[in-house]
Amino acid sequence: MTPALRPRSLFIALGLLLALALWGSLALGPVSLPLGETLQAALRLLGLPLGGSELNQAQLIVGQIRMPRTLLGLAVGAVLALCGVAMQGLFRNPLADPGLIGVSSGAALGAAIAIVGGAAFGGIPEAIAPYLLSLCAFVGGLAVTALVYRLGRRDGLTSVVTMLLAGIALNALAFACIGLFTYLADDATLRTLTFWNLGSLNGASYARLWPLLLVAFAVALWLPRRARALNALLLGESEARHLGFEVERLKRELVFCTALGVGAAVAAAGMIGFIGLVVPHLVRLLVGPDHRVLLPASMLAGASLLLLADLAARLVLAPAELPIGIVTALIGAPFFLYLLIRGR
């Protein structure tokens, strides 16, 4: 298939889209701000002495409420899209998703344990209480992914098919356990668990943001360095070995990187579906399968799409707010069906 766009044109378009999404995320909401005030407030947050006292309200809204939320959306969208590219390259299937290796369901199970277990037993030290949910979700995602990877290993080799089947089975088991915790939860805990599973960028703060930013930065630096290896893997494992790439090491690194990135993203924002599936596939339709272009383009597109979805979640029912997982599903599911019909 001939790419619809040249890489340079795509990066210019994605850069403009990301700038528009950033402006909308910082300026629009229950209290909308003019573009000039938004820019001045953002620059004042960087320490530049601009504007006067009339910008105090804008600076408070941008700095304390919208900037952490925008940074969270940037990091989560970029990480989910990058990990989606990695999994589609690993499984050599453009319809693969990071959730196939169990990281999303494991993180959801960890969060359910923290929410229901914390409410049931109490006595959690105040120092770790604000981070307990994110920590349990992150550990749960890593644990289930490690088990999937272990089940896929045999005689020093990793079977992608076995990993896929193990991931399906453990996903089902994890969601069954989540259903059990949902049944045991009281009304208040059930509401918390339900809204967490629907995903949200609400409640973002700088203190809870920096671990995700570190993970996102590491993933964004590491995965593009494996672009040539992913290109070789598209030809098949044997061909990639003949070209001099360590396929088993590459599989291990891709699984670990996906578990780390998606685990941190789900721990910070809850379950947000379809970003890791739709964005890489859409970018691949535009510029082709070359991972040297596909990885950075997907990172920009994922960040932009999630910011725009969050903006829609804030504005559609303002002053109420939709869970962002509903918005991404409403966007992603019809697009996925379109791809299936088009592929026929």
153 domain-assigned? yes
Question: 3-state DSSP helix/strand/coil percent for the chain, to nearest 5?
Answer: 80, 0, 20
Under a CB-based contact definition with an 8 Å cutoff, are residues 102 and 174 in contact? Answer: yes
1 domain-assigned? no
Of the candidates 291, 287, 276, 281, the one whose C-alpha atom is nearest the C-alpha of residue 229 is 291
pLDDT of residue 124: 54
2 domain-assigned? no
For 58, the domain range is 7-343
- Facing residues of 14 across strands? none
26-52 tens-digit pLDDT: 888 888 788 777 777 777 777 666 555
- The pTM of this model reads 0.90
141 domain-assigned? yes
CA triplet 179, 135, 26: central angle to 5 degrees?
Answer: 95
pLDDT at 58 over 70: yes
Looking at the structure of the chain, the number of domains it has is 1
Cis amide linkage into residue 319, ω under 30° from 0: yes
pLDDT of residue 51: 55
Lowest mean pLDDT among 93-97, 137-141, 163-167: 93-97
61-71 tens-digit pLDDT: 888 888 999 99
Of the candidates 330, 341, 311, the one whose C-alpha atom is nearest the C-alpha of residue 18 is 311
Question: Tokens standing for 286?
Answer: 């535009």
297 domain-assigned? yes
Average pLDDT over every residue of 167-178: 92
CATH of residue 219's domain is: 1.10.3470.10
Query: How many angstroms separate the CA atoms of 108 and 43, rounded?
Result: 37
Question: Tokens standing for 230?
Answer: 């992913």
